[in-house]
């Protein structure tokens, strides 16, 4: 037997497995009823023939990894990228590559695709990064602080995302921050355009 041949190794491994479990009473008790005699064990081995001479064997192609957006055409929406399997980071790359189109950031808060990708993906990306449209205010502000400083509702939402959606800005935990500080018209125009 050639020990370098993978087929020989598989046959040896199969026989070893059969031999190890053949005389083990706990394995037999679990697999056969107490009154029935143990059934004989049969092992089937399969071999794969090497390719015929003159032919080449090709390995299956590796699956395409969605991430490189440079080959995609311009004009796609966030939903198109997500449907193609692209991550949120790849969507950001696409958005930047094509000049930050408004169709990917309808509220123009500098955070594209926040309604298409999961909140955890969006927050994980933007937490600690500079967001356009957000004045670099300090951490720990409340909605009333932002309103007092003249922030628009869109800027307040961007601040909320930027600092990982703090509960102090969304007391009722419904995913809509600052709804009691800003007008209902501003909140509705942002979330339900």
pLDDT of residue 6: 61
Range of the domain at 131: 78-191
> pLDDT tens across 12-59, in order?
666 665 666 565 555 444 444 444 454 454 444 444 445 555 555 554
pLDDT of residue 190: 84
The answer to whether the beta carbons of residues 16 and 43 sit under 8 Å apart is no
Residues 117 and 34 in one domain: no
pLDDT of residue 144: 94
Residues 84 and 42 in one domain: no
Rounded to two decimals, the pTM is 0.40
Assigned domain for 67 exists: no
What lies within 8 Å, CB to CB, of 172 at 6+ separation is 179
Helices (H), the chain: 6-22, 25-31, 78-83, 88-97, 119-126, 143-148, 153-162, 184-191
> pLDDT tens across 116-155, in order?
898 778 877 876 565 555 556 778 899 999 999 888 888 8
How does the average pLDDT of the chain come out, rounded? 74
Assigned domain for 66 exists: no
Residues 22 and 96 in one domain: no
State the total domains in the chain. 2
Residues 155 and 85 in one domain: yes
Residues 37 and 82 in one domain: no
């Amino acid at each position: 037997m050639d020990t370098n041949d993978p087929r020989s190794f598989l046959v040896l491994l199969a026989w070893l497995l059969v031999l190890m479990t053949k005389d083990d009473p706990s394995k037999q008790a679990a697999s056969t009823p107490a009154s029935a005699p143990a059934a004989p064990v049969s092992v089937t081995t399969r071999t794969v023939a090497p390719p015929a001479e003159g032919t080449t064997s090709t390995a299956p192609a590796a699956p395409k990894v969605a991430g490189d957006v440079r080959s995609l055409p311009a004009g796609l929406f966030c939903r198109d990228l997500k449907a193609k399997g692209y991550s949120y980071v790849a969507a950001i790359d696409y958005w930047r590559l094509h000049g930050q189109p408004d169709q990917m950031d309808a509220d123009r808060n500098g955070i594209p695709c926040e309604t298409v990708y999961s909140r955890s993906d969006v927050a994980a990306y933007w937490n600690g990064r500079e967001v356009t449209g957000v004045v670099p205010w300090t951490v720990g502000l409340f909605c009333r602080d932002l309103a007092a400083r003249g922030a628009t509702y869109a800027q307040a939402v961007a601040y909320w995302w930027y600092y990982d959606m703090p509960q102090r800005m969304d007391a009722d935990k419904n995913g809509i921050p600052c709804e009691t500080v800003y007008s209902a018209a501003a909140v509705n125009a942002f979330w339900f355009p």
